[in-house]
Structure 1
């Protein structure tokens, strides 16, 4: 396999996955960007979640994260509350609306994943995960 074939295959896979995910989310009535999805998931998973912790975890500028947080607050997906450990920051929590959206998003992701991996043996899925992580690690070496 030549480098152009590998690059084209990666682009096509990423595009197909994102397109299918977007279409399925829209069919569910969820018009939400991938970054918003990622941040909602992080807020749900992280104890004492702050915008600063999210920014550090995903290696994004705090201003970028704050913009997404503001949009999610405006959409009533998340709520802010004072951080007792640090008066300069606020804790981020999922609202009931955000929790329901997250459940719908997880169901959509599972459907897309099932469609994508249909007919792919579990061993091949494990190989793909290991390979994708190695490729990612190679790209990030020296960056972090």
Structure 2
């Protein structure tokens, strides 16, 4: 296996994780693209102040991409849009009952995937990996904005 640079194992891990998760989702009859899955999860985390603008910022996507994504999620019955009670120009996003059921199923699949991924590792190993990954991400975010 070719491992000359840090990015090589990172790339393999990311691909293996998403390949396993997509396979688990297919086995659970969840046919959503990962981008839509991520959007539903982010809306649930942003609630009760989830807005299209906040979603765009969290996903680092432009307004047109978010509009298309929300239209798809709305058509699938996963996310609803409602007028903001304090500002008629804004919308609030909510997760529907179907979206909540999907999130519950996804959480179970993600937990199973993470358990398989971290088999043979101690809690300390996992915590160390998370700290390193968070530091590397912060380093790139800081340098990317300079």
TM-score by length of 1: 0.91
Q: Which one is further off, 66-75 or 133-142?
A: 133-142
**Corresponding residue of 1:83:** 84
Instruction: Return closer, same or farther for 1:3/1:141 CA change in 2, 3 Å cut-off.
Output: farther
Contact 2:81 2:92 in 1 (8 A): yes
Post-superposition CA distance 1:29-51 (Å, at most 9, x none): 10122221221112222212111
Return the alpha-carbon distance in structure 2 between the equivalents of residues 56 and 14 of structure 1. Answer: 23
Gaps of 5+ in 2: none
TM-score by length of 2: 0.90
Return the alpha-carbon distance in structure 2 between the equivalents of residues 9 and 3 of structure 1. Answer: 7
State whether structure 2 residue 34 is matched by structure 1 residue 34: yes
SS in 2 for 1:141: helix
1:53 CA displacement: 0.9
Gaps of 5+ in 1: none
Instruction: Return closer, same or farther for 1:85/1:4 CA change in 2, 3 Å cut-off.
Output: farther
Return the alpha-carbon distance in structure 2 between the equivalents of residues 49 and 88 of structure 1. Answer: 14
State whether structure 2 residue 123 is matched by structure 1 residue 122: yes
**Corresponding residue of 1:16:** 16
Report 1:58-69 matches (<5 A): 58-69=59-70
Report 1:106-121 matches (<5 A): 106-121=107-122
How many equivalent pairs are there? 143
SS in 2 for 1:98: helix
SS in 1 for 2:93: strand
Return the alpha-carbon distance in structure 1 between the equivalents of residues 59 and 143 of structure 2. Answer: 16
**Corresponding residue of 1:96:** 97
1:78 CA displacement: 1.1
Q: Which one is further off, 46-55 or 119-128?
A: 46-55
1:3 CA displacement: 7.3
Instruction: Return closer, same or farther for 1:118/1:3 CA change in 2, 3 Å cut-off.
Output: closer
